[in-house]
Amino acid sequence: MANSKAHDLNCLTISELEALAAQRMDKQTRDYYNEGADSGSTLAENISAYQKYRIRPRVLRDISSIDTSVTVFGHKNSIPLGVAPTAMQCLAHPDGETATARACKEMGVVMGLSSFSTTSLEDVKRSLGDEHPGALQLYLFEERQKSRQLIQRAKKAGYKAVLLTVDTPVLGRRNLEIRNQFKLPKHLKIANFMQDEERDQGVDNTEKETGANESRKRSAASEAGYQEGSKRVLPSGPITFHSHAPNPKLCWDRDIEWLKQECYPEMEVWVKGIATAEDALLACHHGVDGIIVSNHGGRQLNGALATIDALPEVVDAVRSQSSKIPIHVDGGIRHGTDVFKALALGADFVWVGRPVLWGLAYKGEEGVKLCLKLLSDEIRLCMGLAGVTKVEDIGKEYLVKIDRSGFVSRL
Ligand SMILES: Cc1cc2nc3c(=O)[nH]c(=O)nc-3n(C[C@H](O)[C@H](O)[C@H](O)COP(=O)(O)O)c2cc1C
Ligand SMILES: CC(C)CC(=O)C(=O)O
């Protein structure tokens, strides 16, 4: 019989965690975290697309010793899964990103930190500790100096990689966020930019609008004669995600080279938000260190392909190159079997976003640990039952695809 003491009997699955978290978050936070862009169909398909695949288990293979560990950013990770960068974690729990970092450290799992965190990158790195790897997610600002400062701080703090988010030239449309007039509560701050704000404005910004209100101000600015396009006018208020996360001018030639020069040799440069073979090839040609296949958890272009469906073309493109960079994937991963399927389709590693936020909302650091433990146990169990003892042995021979009529085909 399973040892009940080792379990939280209220929460044995990520979907139970989602339900428990929903009870603990206020409406604004729950909607901000959980929604996708527009109708949310890409968000839903990120999850449901995993059902098209089934596992072909092998038996009689001595699985008494299973190693779930992999190397990421030059460090050993206990499972082939990391915590995806998600903004403003103090909305979920007062300990926010600090709790996530402590849980990651304890579980041996890499943490991706959003540039738009509510805890500074230095404080998060202190919670991760010297030895434990962190990756800073980056929105490359039009004001290069601000990005340069952030990169230098990340280097100094000991981050191993930057993850340049490339799927946000403009922000996707999130209707609940607009309807709720999303606003970061006054006691919270977008911590990485506090010094910038104070220096730029010579005041302590007490009103930290982050969402629809700021958007409305920008519309008013456009109506007042500012033209976006040839010369973009950035609002003079605080750095908010509506003013600073999107960068419509971001492009391969100029920006990737610049970023590599700024980050090397201390930090690797990855692009997060690749969804096609064409862009995967461009990423290879521009010499990035790795790719994350992502559609931002269905929060950007609704109608885009589910990430597990985009993965095979990206894998084929990268494998056609002589220097094969690692491929990671995120979006819709809610169970260890999803991780197994993504790896079987050619991913080297996966990242999870919302389930970690749910863990945080449920019980802070303990809740994030619970989330990572559930996924970790499921990965190990899936490997054992499929007859695989090493992550690198998970290949497409372990999968079949089922079409709508139930027809099963080998990959
Ligand atoms: C509430 C929330 C905030 C996010 N913030 C960021 C961010 O600041 N930067 C970024 O690159 N991606 C961000 N993402 C996207 C995640 O990094 C990741 O791509 C996505 O959550 C994966 O999908 P999943 O939530 O289904 O696991 C965010 C996602 C959510 C749900
Ligand atoms: C734009 C952000 C700061 C956060 C984000 O990426 C998101 O909410 O999806």
- For the chain, which domains are there? 7-410 (3.20.20.70)
Place of tokens 């449901």: 48
Half-sphere exposure of 267 (CA within 13 A, CB side): 28
* Probe residue for ligand 1, chosen from 296, 356, 375 as the CB with the greatest number of ligand atoms within 8 Å: 296
Pick the ligand that lies closest to the CA of residue 375: 1
Please tell me the predicted confidence (pLDDT) of residue 218.
38
Separation of alpha carbons 135 and 133, rounded Å: 7
Please tell me the predicted confidence (pLDDT) of residue 238.
61
- Å from CA of 25 to ligand 2 middle: 18
- Å from CA of 209 to ligand 2 middle: 14
Tens place of pLDDT per residue across the chain (411 aa): 456 678 999 999 999 999 999 999 999 999 999 999 999 999 999 999 999 999 999 999 999 999 999 999 999 999 999 999 999 999 999 999 999 999 999 999 999 999 999 999 999 999 999 999 999 999 998 889 999 999 999 999 999 999 999 999 999 999 999 999 999 999 999 999 986 655 455 433 333 444 433 443 333 333 222 223 334 445 455 667 777 778 899 999 999 999 999 999 999 999 999 999 999 999 999 999 999 999 999 999 999 999 999 999 999 999 999 989 999 999 999 999 999 999 999 999 999 999 999 999 999 999 999 999 999 999 999 999 999 999 999 999 999 999 999 999 999
Cβ atoms of 20 and 10 closer than 8 Å? yes
Q: What is the pTM of this model?
A: 0.92
Taken in order 64, 70, 76, 80, is the CA torsion positive or negative?
A: negative
Q: Please give the DSSP secondary-structure letter assigned to residue 324.
A: -
Long-range residue pairs from 58-66, CB within 8 A, at least 24 positions apart, any chain: 58/386, 58/387, 58/388, 58/398, 59/387, 60/387, 61/387, 61/389, 62/389, 63/383, 63/384, 63/387, 63/388, 63/389, 65/389, 66/380, 66/383, 66/384, 66/388, 66/389, 66/390
- The atom number, within ligand 2, closest to the CA of 300 reads 9
- Å from CA of 350 to ligand 2 middle: 19
Residue 108 backbone zone (phi > 0: left; psi -120 to 50: alpha; other: beta): left
Please tell me the predicted confidence (pLDDT) of residue 231.
42
- Positions marked catalytic: 296
Separation of alpha carbons 332 and 43, rounded Å: 7
